[in-house]
Amino acid sequence: MNVITNPVLRGFNPDPSIVRVEDDYYIATSTFEWFPGVQIYHSRDLMNWRLLKRPLDRISQLNMAGNGDSDGVWAPCLTYDNGLFYLIYTDVKSHKGAFKDTHNYLVTASSIEGPWSDPVYLNSSGFDPSLFHDEDGRKWLLNMRWDFRKGKNKFGGIVIQEYSEAERRLIGPVTAIFEGTEIGFTEGPHLYKRSGYYYLLTAEGGTRYKHAVTMARSATLLGPYEVDSHNPMLSSGGHPELLLQKAGHGSLIETPSGEWYMAHLCARPVDGFHCILGRETALQKCYWDEEDWLRLEGGGNVPSARVKAPALPPYLFAAEPEKDEFDGRQLGDQWNTLRIPPGPDWLSLSERPGFLRLKGMESLSSCHRQSLVARRQQAFSVEAETVVEFAPDSFQQMAGLILYYNTEDYVYLRITHLEQHGRVIGIIRSDRGVYDELLEADLPLPDAGAVYLRAVVSRDTLQFYYAVEAGSWSPAGGEIHIAHLSDEAKEPLRFTGTFIGVCVQDLGGTRRHADFDYFIYREME
């Protein structure tokens, strides 16, 4: 028996939206402030997945300069109808305090690999938009509506409005169709039609340890919707023994042979609470019972780490190489930048062929223009290594190897210049917004030449190393506790995961550059 091993998308890959087109399966996940926007994964067997496309790859589609931490792309919805792919997404400009500025857009493509269109603006009334294609050819946008008023339920229910393809805009009245269940925090709507019913799948309970998937149905599109008496349909709440926590935010597909699967959000804590890898994606096998309600295969409502796969031959993809030599004309798909796209004004793979050249820009506190390139951490135990040539002449110039969660939480093995000591290496950390320098004194380096940098992560601990000769590693300080690189470390809610990469800062504005010859990412489990 073929088995799906969960999570199928490891590391920061939340809010999955799954679609099948003939024999191909695609999952789109949220990217928040990381660029390019939205990750689309591909599979033909539901067991093996590869990153295929990041469709929001230009400023005309996604301009996030100035977006705050955990703003940006929330909960995309990927659908297909009549030869066209539809991708709905939210660009959140702010979610602090009582208000949320949530702008919803639509892009389309005739091929999953693009080109993807410029966006059509839809609305801003709430987040988690999705598009439903009804059998009569009409299309409907659903989203949760945010109610900021004092004394109101902020998660103000699910609303629906028709979308006109001819006019490229929403038309007709906005109708509230579902207030949610007693679980609360109703969001993430997806609508399906089956056996004469419209089925409304929603996420409830908040995207932490009480997260859940709930189901309601109606004989008519606009309701009223009857709630499944067995809700929640899926949840990890109250089961700390499970590998997969935070189960919720589901999306459904049916295989050609009539089997049903749900893609859903999950997370794996490293210490029973902190989820350094962020929220991930898993799959569960489902069926429809004799009363036409959706149930988990095997009974109950908790997620399984191992799930029966459909009867399809395994479809394998080539493994990602551990070492990136930076020999290509553009960055590999594993790499991401913060808020802004890679541009020749700050990033080059051609100015010095075989090297990634980064020109220093703003500080690690900036929500505008950071010179940072990073990839997801996707396993509990990993090693990362790079080598950099960097000649700073000021303490305001820094370059090195970083573990980054957001502007308030990171750990950075950085090279800089001090007035009385010349070129040095040390560790700076921001822990829930509090800046610190972890070594009593920065360590001296030769005035010129390459410096090798290494990070070894084991669950919630980090050890940095450095060398001025290849292979002659010395520890840089001691072990560092990194549980603060997680959603759970601080309120208000935040939603991303740990990234590992390289960066350069030049706070004097002179654009001092650093050259990185390679980057190794190796999973140890």
* Residue 315 belongs to a domain: no
Residues 337 and 247 both lie in one domain? no
Residues 246 and 344 both lie in one domain? no
Q: Among 285, 308, 331, which residue terminates a domain?
A: 308
* Residue 513 belongs to a domain: yes
Residues 299 and 387 both lie in one domain? no
Residues 281 and 357 both lie in one domain? no
* Residue 313 belongs to a domain: no
CATH number for position 462: 2.60.120.200
Residues 299 and 361 both lie in one domain? no
pLDDT of residue 386: 98
| Domain total of the chain | 2
CA distances from 378 to 7, 25, 166, 222, 499 (A): 10, 21, 42, 41, 9
372-405 burial, b if ≥16 CB within 10 A, otherwise e?
A: bbbbbbbebebbbbbbbbbbbeeebbbbbbbbbb
Given 187, 280, 408, 487, the catalytic residue: 187
Three-class secondary structure of residue 487 per DSSP: helix
Q: Among 277, 308, 339, which residue terminates a domain?
A: 308
Mean pLDDT by 10 residues, the chain (525 residues): 96 98 98 98 98 98 98 98 98 94 98 98 98 98 97 96 98 98 97 97 97 98 98 98 98 97 98 97 98 97 98 94 97 98 97 98 98 98 98 98 98 97 98 97 97 98 97 97 96 92 98 98 92
CA distances from 448 to 305, 422, 426, 504 (A): 50, 10, 16, 17
Residues 287 and 424 both lie in one domain? no
CATH number for position 172: 2.115.10.20
Say if residues 338 and 370 touch (Cβ distance below 8 Å): yes
Given 15, 204, 385, 515, the catalytic residue: 15
pLDDT of residue 1: 83
Residues 407 and 289 both lie in one domain? no
Q: Count CA atoms closer than 13 A to 227's CA, side-chain side.
A: 16
Chain centroid to Cα 276, Å, comes to 13
Q: Among 308, 338, 360, which residue terminates a domain?
A: 308
Three-class secondary structure of residue 489 per DSSP: helix
Segment 129-183, tens digit of pLDDT: 999 999 999 999 999 999 999 999 999 999 999 999 999 999 999 999 999 999 9
| Cα distance between residue 202 and residue 465, in whole Å | 46
Q: Residue 15 catalytic?
A: yes
pLDDT of residue 144: 98
Q: Which two tokens stand for residue 166?
A: 């001819």
Domain interval for residue 216: 3-308
* Residue 314 belongs to a domain: no
- Which letter does DSSP use for residue 117 in this model? P
Residues 202 and 279 both lie in one domain? yes
Residues 213 and 356 both lie in one domain? no
* Residue 217 belongs to a domain: yes
Residues 109 and 156 both lie in one domain? yes
For residue 499, count other CB atoms closer than 10 A to its CB: 25
* Residue 318 belongs to a domain: no
Q: Where are the beta strands (DSSP E) in 289-342?
A: 294-296, 306-308, 323-324, 336-338
| Cα distance between residue 112 and residue 224, in whole Å | 35
Residues 422 and 519 both lie in one domain? yes
| Cα distance between residue 47 and residue 309, in whole Å | 7
Residues 502 and 404 both lie in one domain? yes
